[in-house]
Amino acid sequence: MAAPLLELENLIVHFKTHRGWVHAVDNVSFTIGKGQTLGLVGESGCGKTTTAFSILQILPYNAHVKGGDVRLKGRSILRDSVKEDGTIDPFNENIRKVRWKEISMIFQGAMNAFNPVYKVGDQIAEAIRVHYPDMSEQEIWKRIEELYDLVGIPKDRIMNYPHEYSGGMKQRAIIAMALALNPSLIIADEPTTALDVITQDRILGEMKRIQEETKTAMLLITHDVSVVAELSDKMAVMYAGQIVEMGTTRQIFKETAHPYTEALLGAFPSIKGDKKKRLKAIPGSPPDLISPPRGCRFHPRCPYARERCLEDEPELIKVGDGHYSRCHYTEELFGAGQGGGA
Ligand SMILES: Nc1ncnc2c1ncn2[C@@H]1O[C@H](COP(=O)(O)OP(=O)(O)OP(=O)(O)O)[C@@H](O)[C@H]1O
Ligand SMILES: [Mg+2]
């Protein structure tokens, strides 16, 4: 069988601070197949962006990779870049070949990523020129027109300045930029959270269409579960630096197998409002990642926590076909093989 497009294997990334080590990403593993979308969800501060930055090797200077690897099409792209002390040179050759051409990223808060003093078209053209110095100007501008068609911005807006775009248009242009070099994977970190709900819904719909058209795989990062529901094939739920549940989107929603996922789904209303669910906040707040709780990291907030959860750290165990949960009592709480759900 061909290797998946992207594989993360036991990735561990900690930040060195004067208070101690921040355990931002602890043993994270997942795979994304060609053309597939994985939704990575979890509350603020659980390590989503750090995971994404590790893939692209754009980590802050105090980040140390303590273990694990990232593979693209079966080829390791991380291990050889990590220096002896765990740090990474963001300009190393391994990743420079991959960044933008193979994996591009829509950054969190990217709405203002365009430089206000240059026209949007010129900024996209420059990005293409840097990576394809041999491409003719004519080809570059033809590509930009194609991209504008694809993301649904009228071509006569190519030479506008960023401030002349609406929020939704800026976000479309950012998507065009991410697609410019035809990558096989786009990492989208909270791509729509800065937009109003109506525009958000429209852009998400467009993203789904574009993705189907271009067959680009996506790592979709968000704290808003309703965003991933329609776009993702698979989901990984992160809590305090770890994946606590992973499975198909259907399994996560219909065969929920972890108390944190259950709480997270309860805390977000369905985007379509088809189910009149009561909006419940998850009690308490995520732990300090310098000294995460012993045992299960979720135990201080878990309504089902028992003695064992305080001491014994649960592993990510298989609960169904491609479905995993990090909970000692998953079977007892959610039933083996599930099928029922909430
Ligand atoms: N440079 C850094 N130095 C120290 N700690 C950091 C650094 N960057 C991030 N952190 C910490 O690492 C943890 C994970 O942060 P990260 O940004 O990956 O979370 P996130 O899931 O993307 O959150 P959000 O939803 O708010 O974007 C947090 O506790 C954060 O405070
Ligand atoms: Mg983030």
199-215: pLDDT as tens digits: 888 888 888 889 888 99
> Could you tell me if 248 and 233 are in contact, meaning their C-beta atoms sit under 8 angstroms apart?
yes
Q: Determine which residue's CA is closest to atom 18 belonging to ligand 1.
A: 47
49 lines ligand 1 (CB under 6 A): yes
Query: Is the CB–ligand 1 distance for residue 291 below 6 Å?
Result: no
Residue 92 confidence (pLDDT) above 50: yes
What is the model's pLDDT at position 186? 96
Please give the distance, rounded to the nearest whole angstrom, from the Cα atom of residue 227 to the centre of ligand 2: 15
- At 112 the three-state DSSP class reads helix
Domains of the chain by residue range:
6-102+183-334
At 165-201, the pLDDT tens digits run 998 899 899 999 999 999 999 999 998 887 888 888 8
Average confidence (pLDDT) over 23-45: 96
- SS3 track for the chain: CCCCCEEEEEEEEEEEECCEEEEEEEEEEEEECCCCEEEEECCCCCCHHHHHHHHHCCCCCCEEEEEEEEEECCEECCHHHECCCCCECCCCHHHHCCECCCEEEECCCHHHCCCCCCCHHHHHHHHHHHHCCCCCHHHHHHHHHHHHHHHCCCHHHCCCCHHHCCHHHHHHHHHHHHHCCCCCEEEEECCCCCCCHHHHHHHHHHHHHHHHHHCCEEEEEECCHHHHHHHCCEEEEEECCEEEEEEEHHHHHHCCCCHHHHHHHHHCCCCCCCCCCCCCCCCCCCCCCCCCCCCCCCHHHCCCCCHHHHHCCCCCEEEECCEEECCCCHHHHHCCCCCCCC
Asked if the model's pLDDT at residue 269 lies above 80, the reply is no
Ligand 2 centroid to 189 CA: how many Å? 7
- The pLDDT value recorded for residue 342 is 39
Ligand 1 within 6 A of CB of 192: no
Q: How many CA atoms lie within 13 A of 17 on its CB side?
A: 13
Query: Which residue type sits at 137?
Result: E
In the predicted model, is pLDDT for residue 274 greater than 60? no
pLDDT of 159 above 80: yes
Given pLDDT bands bounded at 50, 70 and 90, which one contains residue 147? very high
Whether 240 is in the pocket of ligand 1, judged by its Cβ within 6 Å, is no
Residue 286 is classified by DSSP as P
Q: How confident is the model at residue 304 (pLDDT cuts 50, 70, 90)?
A: very high
The whole-number pLDDT of residue 196 equals 83
Predicted model pTM? 0.93
The whole-chain average pLDDT of the chain stands at: 91
What pLDDT shows up at residue 161?
A: 96
Q: Which of 48, 55, 193 to mutate to test the pocket of ligand 1 (most atoms within 8 A of CB)?
A: 48
Residue 48 Cβ < 6 Å to ligand 1? yes
Tell which wins on pLDDT, 275 or 97. Answer: 97
Q: Which residue has the higher pLDDT, 2 or 65?
A: 65
Q: Is the CB of 285 under 6 A from ligand 1?
A: no
Q: Whose CA is nearest to atom 29 of ligand 1?
A: 45
Ligand 1, atom 4, residue with closest C-alpha? 15
Distance in angstroms (rounded) separating the CA atoms of residues 30 and 183: 19
Tell me the ligand closest to 286's alpha carbon: 1
3-state secondary structure of 103: strand
Residue 220 half-sphere exposure, CB side, CA atoms within 13 Å? 29
| Atom 30 (ligand 1) nearest CA | 45
124-146 pLDDT, tens digit per residue, is 999 999 988 899 999 999 999 99
What is d(CA 187, CA 44) in angstroms, rounded to the nearest whole number? 17
- Of the ligands numbered here, which is closest to the C-alpha atom of 47? 1
pLDDT value of position 341: 42
* Ion ligand 2 residues within 5 Å by Cβ: 49, 108
Distance (Å) from CA 58 to ligand 1 centroid: 13
CATH 3.30.70.20 fits 6-102+183-334, yes or no: no
Q: Which of the listed residues 8, 15, 51, 55 should we mutate to test ligand 1's pocket, taking the one with most ligand atoms within 8 A of CB?
A: 15
| Distance of alpha carbon 252 from alpha carbon 269, whole angstroms | 15
Tell me how crowded residue 61 is: count the other CB atoms within 10 A of its CB: 9
Question: Looking at the CA of 48, which ligand is closest?
Answer: 1
**How does residue 225 score in pLDDT terms, banded at 50, 70 and 90?**
confident
